[in-house]
Each structure stands twice: as C-alpha cells, then as structure tokens.
Amino acid sequence: MRWLLTYADLITLLMVFFVVLYSMSRVDAEKYRSLKDSLQRSMGGVAASAPANSGGGASPDPNQAGGTGPLSNPGGKPPLEELGQQLANSAAAMGFGDRVTIYYGERGLTVSMGPILFDLGSADLRPDGIKVLDLLADVLNTIPNHVSVEGFTDDLPISTPQFPSNWELSAVRATSVIHYFVKTRGMPPGRFFAVGYGEYRPSVPNVSDENRARNRRVDIVILAQIPKIDKGTEITPDLSAVPGASGAAGATKTTGP
C-alpha cells in the first residue's frame, strides 16, 4: 500500500503545478492587454480598456499635469500637442473636422466647439456635440490634467427668465459640458473649472451670421500646469493714514489658499 501514498503525492504535485501554470497565464493576459492599450494610444487611438474615473473615486495625481502622465512622449512632440493631433484625426474621421478646432500653446491644449454643441440661445447639448464630448471624455480619462471649460456667445442680446443676459448663457453652456463629463461620464468634478465670458471675448468680429456662429462656442482647455489658487499677500489698513483711527500702521501677511 506504500505505493498508493506515493501515487497520491504525485497527483497532488501535478495539481499544484497546473494551478501555477494557470495563474501565470492569467498574468500574461493582463500584461498583453496593457501592452495593447499602450500601443493603441501611441498610434493615435484611445485605449478601449482605459478605466473611467467615477465621480466618487480618487482624482488622478495632479502633480503629473503637463505631460508626465501616460501620454508622455520623451524626445518627440510635447504630450499635449501629440494628444491634440490624435483628437484632430479622430474628429476628422467622425466627420466633425470642420466643426471642431484644436489649438496648442503655452496654456495647454484647447478644443474649441461652436454650433455643434448648442443651438442658438440654448444651453442644451446637441446629439452631434455629445458624440464629440464622448470622444474627449475617453481621452481625458487617460490623463491627469485639470480642465477649464469656457463658454462664449455672440453679440446678439438675450433676455429670458433662464438667461437674463449673455453672461448667464455662456456660463450655463460651460457648466452643461461639465455636468455631462461628471454626471454622465463619471469623471472627478475636482478636475474642472467653469468660466463664462459672455459676448466679450469673440474669436472673430461679429459682422456676419457666419462669424457669430463661430463666436457661439465652448473652449475645453486641457491645462498644461496645475492652476494655483493662492490669494497672495493680505493688505491690512494703514491706521496711521485713516482719520480718527488709532493703532499700529498697516501690515501685510501672507495667506494660504
């Protein structure tokens, strides 16, 4: 019967061996998916398995903003410029190349969208605009940068209960885009800033219907640097210069955010 004990030990060892082989094959599959996603990004696509950040989840590391995230390209174009080229190619492939304009500069990467997002006098997202926002959301989920969403209008006056002026219209257009990214696409709200410029920052003169359509836009700016929220140095009253006041002269002190 001693041979039976030896046989049982052999069967046990074989089972452990195959379990280890199975585990190693699972690890290799994960590495393969990671490699595939990396190659897809470098060739101009968006990784299909890139996880979407949930609204309640941790925000990507903001210290990586400006190009030290997964889209870094040492020795080549700056990461945000490379990303802009990918977005331009994707928008053109979707048939939106003439309605989405992309700029790269010191501030970062700006994706400018006009009437594709909103109808005249409206802050409700249009279906074609949502397609472009989905494309942009897929890309934003692969990088950690903060994003400024900036609304603009033309010079046509508006006065409705919802939009008393173009200030409100431009601001609500910006927040409509942010709400879509946060509520529908589950992105961290702390990454976004909303700005409304009203009619006062036209990209072209408001001299024709075509130009006005170009000025009705939202710029989505992927910032190259982390925005600083610092009040600077506090200035207190100089009591010696205030009639009837007594006490020490004014002083300054540095405050935090």
Ordered by start, the domain boundaries in the chain are: 63-223
What average pLDDT does range 225-232 have in this prediction?
84
Between vectors from CA 50 to CA 26 and to CA 135, what angle results, nearest 5°? 150
Looking at 1.20.1600.10, 2.10.70.10, 3.30.1330.60, 3.40.50.1110, the CATH number of the domain 63-223 comes to 3.30.1330.60
One-letter amino acid of 46: V
Count other Cβ atoms within 10 Å, centred on residue 224: 19
Angle in degrees, CA 35, 36, 41, rounded to 5: 100
pLDDT in tens, 184-220: 999 999 999 999 999 999 999 999 999 999 999 999 9
Radius of gyration of the CA atoms of the chain, in A = 27
Q: Is the pLDDT of residue 237 over 90?
A: no
DSSP states along 7-57: HHHHHHHHHHHHHHHHHHHHHHHHHHHHHHHHHHHHTT---TTPPPPPTTS
The residue among 101 and 34 whose pLDDT is bigger is: 101
pLDDT of 82 over the 70 cut: yes
Of 116-120, 198-202, 250-254, give the lowest mean pLDDT range. 250-254
Q: What is the pTM of this model?
A: 0.66
CA distance 129 to 118: 8
- Predicted pLDDT at 65: 37
3-state secondary structure of 142: coil
pLDDT score for 230? 83
**pLDDT at residue number 185:** 96
C-alpha atoms less than 13 angstroms from C-alpha of 192 in its C-beta half-sphere: 24
* Average pLDDT of the residues of the chain: 79
